[in-house]
Structure 1
Amino acid sequence: MTYQFPLRATFRILALSPELQVADANEQILLQVKQKLLTLREDTTVFADVEKTRPLYRMKADRIIGFRAVHAVTRIEDGRPLGSIRAAGLRSIWRARYEITDASENTLARIQEQNPWTKVIDGLLDEVPLIGPLVAMFINPRYSVSDEQGRMFAQILKKRSFVARHFTLERLEGSPVGLSDELLALALVQVIFLERSRQ
C-alpha cells in the first residue's frame, strides 16, 4: 500500500481514552486508533474508518509495560505479521530512540529524538498552570527517521494546540528496501503512544 506524504496524525488530548487519527496529504483518513485504558499489556486495534468498523491491524506488546517491549504489527485480514516497533533500551529515558523491524526482526529503520532538551522543556512547561501550556505551544520536538547506514529519509514534527497534539511525518527521500508505507505509518502511531507514556 502506497501513501501520499506527508502524513498528519492528530492526537486528541481531551478524550477519555487516547485516540489518534492519521490522514494523508489529501486529507483522506488512513488510520483511526483508540488505545485501551488500564491494560497491563498493550493490545491496540487500528481501523480504516472513523466509526471504527473496519479493523486493519493489530499492535500487541510482547510483555507487560517496559522499556524493551516489542509491539508486533499484524494485518488482521490475513494474519500476516508486518514487523514491529520497539523502544531501544534504557536510552529511552533521556533521548527517545525506537527501532522498526521486519517480520524476521531485521532492523529496517531507527527513529530518534533530535534534541532531548526540547522534550525536557516541553514537559516542564506542561506543569506550569495557565501560561505553561501556552508557551509550550512554541516548543515542538522533532524526530529523525534513519536507515541502518544513518541516512535520514524522513522526520516527524510535533505541534500543539489546546485540544490536540499534531504530528507530521515528512518523507525526505525514499524509504529503505523492505520498509512499506503502512509499517512506517504504524510506527508513527506507536511512537506517539510511547512518547505519551514517557511524559
Structure 2
Amino acid sequence: MHFPLQVAFKRIALSPQIRVTDARGTLTHYVKQKLFKLKESVTVFADEAQARRLFEIRADRVLDFNAAYRIADAAGKPIGVVRRHGMRSLWRAHYEIQAADGLLLTVSEENPWIKVLDGLLSDLPIIGLFAGYWLHPAYLLTDRSGTLVMRVQKVPALMEGRYRIDAHAALDGEARDAVLQGIFMMLLLERTRG
C-alpha cells in the first residue's frame, strides 16, 4: 500500500460506499455500510465485487453520540476500536482510534470554523450546492506525544465526497489496519460536512 490514499464515495448508491485507492491507482479497500440497521454495521472488502471480506466494523449501541465502533478482521479477531466523543465533537470533531497492540491515536478537526461555515452555507440555495467544493475539512491523527501520524483532508469535488489520506509516520500490520478502518468509519460519520 502506497500513500497517499484516495478515498471516494460512490455517487449513486442506496447505502454509503467508499472506494479507496493507493498512489498507484490500485484499489485497496471497498467499504460498504449496511442499510436499515439499528446499530451501525460496516463491511470492508478487498474488491468491488465484494468477494473477499477484510474487516467488519460494528457500533456498540444504537445511538452514535458517544458510540464505540469495534473493528474485527475477517476471522472475527478484534484489532481495534474507534470512539466518537459526542460533546467534544460539537465544536470540533473528536475521535480516538485504539489498536489491539495499544497504539492510541487522537483524531481532531484541524479547523473547526470549516464546520461553522458549512452549517451556514449548506442550507442556502445554489450556494449550498457548491459549498462542498470550497470547504475542505481536515483531520489530524496524533499519537500520545502529539506527533502527527496521518492527515485526512477533503479535496475539491462536486456532488461527491473525495478525501486524501497522507501518512506522516510509518504504521504496519494490525495497527495500520485498525487506524485505516477507524478513518473509514470516521469519514462515514462526517461525510455530510464540507
Distance 1:184 1:48, change over 3 A: same
TM-score where L is the length of structure 1: 0.88
Q: Does 1:118 align with 2:114?
A: yes
Shift of 1:67: 1.9
- Within a 5 Å distance, the mapping from 1:29-108 to structure 2 comes to 29-76=27-74, 78-103=75-100, 106=102, 108=104
SS in 2 for 1:123: helix
Cα RMSD (Å) of the superposition? 2.1
Shift of 1:118: 0.4
2:84–2:95 CA contact under 8 A, matched in 1: yes
Distance 1:165 1:95, change over 3 A: same
Aligned with residue 185 of structure 1, among 176, 180, 184: 180
Distance 1:38 1:198, change over 3 A: farther
Shift of 1:15: 2.2
Number of corresponding residues:
194
1: CA distance, partners of 2:21 / 2:143: 24
Aligned with residue 195 of structure 1, among 173, 184, 190: 190
- Structure 1 counterpart of 2:79, which letter? L
**% identity of equivalent residues:** 35
Shift of 1:28: 0.8
Aligned with residue 146 of structure 1, among 142, 159, 165: 142
- Within a 5 Å distance, the mapping from 1:129-168 to structure 2 comes to 129-168=125-164
The 10-residue stretch of structure 1 (159-168 or 113-122) with the greater mean CA deviation from structure 2: 159-168
Q: Which runs of 5+ in 1 are unaligned?
A: none
1: CA distance, partners of 2:31 / 2:17: 6
2: CA distance, partners of 1:188 / 1:9: 10
1:14–1:164 CA contact under 8 A, matched in 2: no
Q: Does 1:6 align with 2:26?
A: no
2:100–2:175 CA contact under 8 A, matched in 1: no
The 10-residue stretch of structure 1 (159-168 or 94-103) with the greater mean CA deviation from structure 2: 159-168
2: CA distance, partners of 1:149 / 1:89: 23
TM-score where L is the length of structure 2: 0.90
SS in 2 for 1:92: coil
Question: For residue 24 of structure 2, what is the aligned residue in structure 1?
Answer: 26
2:154–2:162 CA contact under 8 A, matched in 1: yes
1: CA distance, partners of 2:16 / 2:121: 21
